[in-house]
Structure 1
Amino acid sequence: MSEYLVEQFRQQVQTGRWSEADALYRQLKQSGSPLPPDLVNDYAIGLARHGRLQEAEFVLRQLLQEYPEYVAAYSNLGLVLRRLGRTEEALETLLRALDLDRCAAEALNNLGLLLRDLGRHQEALAYLERALQVRPNQVAIHANLAQLYRSLSRHQDAIRHFRSALTARPEQLDICLGLSLSLLALGEEREAEAWARQAIHLAPHQADAWNTLGTILSSCGRYDEALACFQQALVYQPQHVLAHLNRGMIYLIRGDWQAGWEDYEYRLQMQPQRWHSYRQPRWQGQSLVGRTILLVAEQGIGDTLQFVRYARLLANQGTRVLLECPRNLVPLLSHTEGLAGCYASGDPLPDYDFYTPLLSVPRYLDTRPETVPGQVPYIHVDATLIAHWGERLAKYDGLRVGIAWQGSPTYANDRQRSVPLSMFERLARVEGVRLISLQKGPGEEQLQHCPFPVVDLGPGRDETSGAFMDTAAIVHHLDLVVCTDSAIAHLAGALGRPVWLLLGQVCDWRWGMAGETTPWYPTMRLFRQQLRQDWDSVFRRVAGELEKLCASRCPHPQKLCVQEIRVPTSPGELLDKITILRIKRQRIRDADKLRHVETELAELEKIAADCLPISPELDRLVHELQAVNLALWEIEDALRECERRQKFDEEFVELARSVYRHNDRRAEIKKRINLLLGSRLVEEKSYRPY
């Protein structure tokens, strides 16, 4: 009788009739009838495949009680525990399987997948490669290796394993799609498209296939066809996250920002657990007057530098604005206008009323191309570093041009935006140009064998002061930045410095599809490829424009120079000048004027820091002095407006009278500062009384 029940149980497991299999399993266990371990193992695998993970765990643990050295059961139990999220137990279980049999292919494969999930990629590769040595023709191992290599941007290795898997299973959808994306990453667009269309042929109603084809077509600049693919994907799966996100980026690059921002919100569903960790509600456009909002940096450094501009806009609307960002960016972003505080991710936060992912702000402020808050600068440079790098760069004459050529190599579209350093040789040949490297990280090694002169400021840049802190101070002293699409471009733009951005014909959505200007950065000029991968013509245009710039900047070979003048002055006069320069830094928008203001301010603030003591009373007087100078600025603007309108009424007279009253108050505060600090120099005023 027991043999008959075992055979019935086997048939139910093999045919997937799980209700009958469950009943027979319970009956056989209650009767104490022996069950073949392989059959029980298959039963547990079936339970797991149907999402019955706790039951599968129970069955496998029962099996291991009877057969404590059964390797396959340990391997499958490890897989079940991994799916249950119990990673430490899964790791111990799989290592136990390999203790029993170091060549257990399933255990090696499952351990590789677990280590991949834990981010231990090199170990994962090692175990998967060992599994493949044991089972060189197993499709699943080839597929797992291929997907892991693809995630690491090792696309040549990924393609090799994808092709091996497809030899055995040419109809497997995820392998076709993975192969197409790796081919795309290497620029093999025609074959990538062919495999994506093969996937659609295999599964015409599968949203992933349509989304992948759309991704390939979009990367080729075939936006109409790509948009149709994303629309088709959403027909079959209306909440497909990537299809919404990809469609949104096409809307954005075409200038339909309202629709684009809506779809772009789907990016947040790719990391839902991250956004559940904030204790206050997410902002969705409510009034923020008198409230505090936490902006949360997301995505790349360039994105953060671009969109942190909204702190000033929100602050001007009566909002207290905080920012949470990666720790290495805190020193730089603490100098952002409008921020009341900047905090490293994971550190304790002060109270706030709402939080928002940073790139969601433009959606709720209804940002369109014509309403971009484009005033620059909105990030300021540390005064001490400006002075330090000013001294270091003083020896480099000519038109100082900062260059950067390489973005993150793991970025999906990096092949269409980065160039080799050698492309800049044409710029180095322009008479009067001095190239200065701003490259950091990948691509920096190309300087070692560069055949033309490029100033290398050394590896210590940004190491101690914080990410981009030194670079920002260097950019402050440059005449121009010329770079490909990377964080350097956003940094220069945010600082209000002149920057020429080199773009592939197919570029990121934020730069649009045509034109030499961008609403995001008024000091930026765009140089676009006219033909894909044709960088030569781009650099020819840039070299020609550099020649014109050098000619306009140096029209006469002989220039009069004056040595720096150092004049003794009182503390009150020094601080008066500093407060005026701080107001100018906030009010002036012209990039060249602003550069002069920031250079002078940095020098004077360094002198003040070196020479003046720290005192609460002095801080109070400086605050009063700045308020008076700000009032004088406003009065001057109002007087000029009356002059423009030829309106010389009582308001004009009152404004004119207020000038000398405020100047008297200004002189009084400066004298109090001088007396407080015991200055040898004390400025005096003497006018007729009124």
Structure 2
Amino acid sequence: MLDARHHHSEGRLFVARLLYDAILAVEPTHHDALHGLAVLLVQWGDVKGGLDLIGRAVDRHGMTNDLDRTLARLTRFYLERFVQPTDGLSRRIDVIAPLMPKLRQSPAAYEQLFFHFGGATPKLRREGHYRTAARFAKVATLIEPGRFDILFNLGFFLEADGDFEGAAAAYRHAAAAGDRSQHAHACMMSMHLAFRLGRWSEFKGLLAHKYDYDVVGWWKTHLPVPIWDGTIREGARILINGESGFGDVIQCLRYADYFSQRGMIVHIVCVPGLKALCALGKGVTSALTQGDRLPPVDFRAQSFDLFYTLETDAARCFGSGPYIEIAKSPHRAPTLERRDGDVLIGIKWTTTDATKDLPLALFAKLLLRDGIRLVSLQPEPPDAESGLTVERPLDSYFADPAYAFVSTAWVIDQMDLVVTADSVIAHLAGAVGAKTWVALKPVPDCRWLVDRTDTPFYDSATLFRQAPDEPWSAVFDRMAEALRQRLEAVRPVVQPMARPI
């Protein structure tokens, strides 16, 4: 046996194979010979043969520490050597299938396999490979059933890939597998999914768990003021805290008017960059930011909690018409000059997520005739390679962050049409009441729901959805055709129209 090990370690695999075979011919269950030959076969690429020998050794001798370590080495060796990054997941699953019967008996091999299929998912998520990530996560759940992080990630990947029912099941299983905080986090994801699917009747039961999630639990004791319980009280003062990103705050600003019309006094707390804009919201008594002295209030609420509390019908929500009164602002951005026949199209092509960004050059498809002008609504300059002429009247106004959103809204209000990626501009334009077209990737943010060309949040908005594996150019082709039809429907006039389309 020593000679066999020596030749094996020196790389003389053929000689080692002859010696291992000779030992096993005399003693078919020889522990060390089975052990060594199994490793040798895997090195030669005969994974099945190696695993069969390990299985024979386990059946005869039990899962000894040596066999456990060897099975782990074989698993790792195989995954690193024989499973190439370009291999499809089906091949990976097929070739590791022989490992599975012994896996439960080998903690070390089990850990290697789980690390491969569970540990790969964060990288796949960062790269946007959601379908592959979901398939890896499914394998990981077979290896490690009932593990919260894998089930949670599986739900996220399935939702991002458009398998909404599969995601719902994964989130339910994750909620059952997690601790109190994890349970709440999974419930929040289920709530977002219910948002996307228009199942708004599910909000009430899921929202009750939200603040058990440690990350947002601070809100329960943030101020010595009761959290609004859903009851309207005329004359009561409510403080709405603008939750999450710019677009989220703008979307939920509509609820100030809901309270105001019912006799309540509304104060908004938001980030400094939104303060001047929020002050223009219908029904807003005052807008404040962190550090400002808070007025006396009777209740407080997170802005998105109002959505989850008040909305029940995805067909139409509260305040779908314009609710930011830009004319009330003492701050003025430039007024663009118009010539007869001009059509001003405000555009926003970049976002905080590269998968939602629109190629600027494709906006050329909207230049159907002379007089159509593209106006930038973003601080980032256009790519020189696009070859497009894009007007940038807001450049100097972006230097004043306190009024940048108000300046942008002022220019948006002059546009005949806004064409935007899934960005804050979609919400700002909708809140102002400008005609808006939003280009969405196949599985966009949950607020745009599914399979709709309209949105319950903004009467003036139309959604153009990218089909799976469809290039953005096809989306712009549909927008160009819609624009052509609108332009043809407009009668010639002597004076330029404020909004001809």
Structure 2 length-normalised TM: 0.71
Q: Is 2:399 the partner of 1:463? A: yes
1:281 CA displacement = 1.3
Residue equivalent to 1:363: 308
What root-mean-square deviation, in Å, do the aligned CA atoms of Structure 1 and Structure 2 show? 2.9
What's the secondary structure of 2:404's corresponding residue? coil
Residue equivalent to 2:64: none
Distance 2:208 2:389 in 1: 45
Q: Is 2:272 the partner of 1:327? A: yes
- The AA in structure 1 aligned to 2:190 is R
1:469 CA displacement = 1.2
Distance 2:203 2:245 in 1: 19
Task: Give a deviation string over 1:614-642, Cα, whole Å, max 9, x none.
Answer: xxxxxxxxxxxxxxxxxxxxxxxxxxxxx
- CA change 1:388–1:303 in 2 (3 A) is closer
Distance 2:216 2:329 in 1: 39
Residue equivalent to 2:373: 434
Q: Within 5 A, what are the aligned runs for 1:412-561?
A: 415=355, 417-440=356-379, 444-457=380-393, 459-464=395-400, 466-553=403-490, 555-556=491-492, 559-561=493-495
On the 8 A contact 2:114/2:144 being kept in 1, the answer is no
Percentage of pairs with the same residue? 27
On the 8 A contact 2:333/2:411 being kept in 1, the answer is no
Q: Which runs of 5+ in 2 are unaligned?
A: 1-107
On the 8 A contact 2:334/2:393 being kept in 1, the answer is no
Match of 1:219 among 156, 160, 168: 160
Return the structure number with greater helix share.
Answer: 1
Residue equivalent to 2:250: 305
On the 8 A contact 1:234/1:243 being kept in 2, the answer is yes
- The AA in structure 2 aligned to 1:233 is A
Residue equivalent to 1:206: 147
Q: Is 2:184 the partner of 1:250? A: no
Q: Within 5 A, what are the aligned runs for 1:181-200?
A: 181-200=122-141
Distance 1:386 1:546 in 2: 32
What's the secondary structure of 2:344's corresponding residue? strand
1:515 CA displacement = 2.2
Task: Give a deviation string over 1:174-216, Cα, whole Å, max 9, x none.
Answer: x865631331232323432243234323421212111111111
1:491 CA displacement = 0.5
On the 8 A contact 1:177/1:212 being kept in 2, the answer is no
Distance 1:533 1:345 in 2: 44
What's the secondary structure of 1:402's corresponding residue? strand
- The AA in structure 1 aligned to 2:479 is V
Q: Which structure is larger by alpha-carbon Rg, 1 or 2?
A: 1
- CA change 1:190–1:489 in 2 (3 A) is closer
- CA change 1:285–1:383 in 2 (3 A) is closer
1:516 CA displacement = 1.6
1:343 CA displacement = 0.5
On the 8 A contact 1:369/1:519 being kept in 2, the answer is yes
Task: Give a deviation string over 1:550-582, Cα, whole Å, max 9, x none.
Answer: 2233x44xx5359xxxxxxxxxxxxxxxxxxxx
| Further displaced range: 471-480 or 195-204 | 195-204
- Aligned pair count reads 388
Distance 1:387 1:273 in 2: 38
Distance 2:206 2:384 in 1: 44
What's the secondary structure of 1:369's corresponding residue? coil
Match of 1:336 among 266, 271, 281: 281
- CA change 1:396–1:405 in 2 (3 A) is farther
Q: Which runs of 5+ in 1 are unaligned?
A: 1-165, 563-591, 597-690
On the 8 A contact 1:399/1:550 being kept in 2, the answer is no
- The AA in structure 1 aligned to 2:112 is P
What's the secondary structure of 1:241's corresponding residue? helix
- CA change 1:346–1:528 in 2 (3 A) is same
Residue equivalent to 1:615: none
| Further displaced range: 183-192 or 225-234 | 183-192
Match of 1:170 among 112, 133, 140: 112
- CA change 1:343–1:265 in 2 (3 A) is farther
- CA change 1:178–1:462 in 2 (3 A) is farther
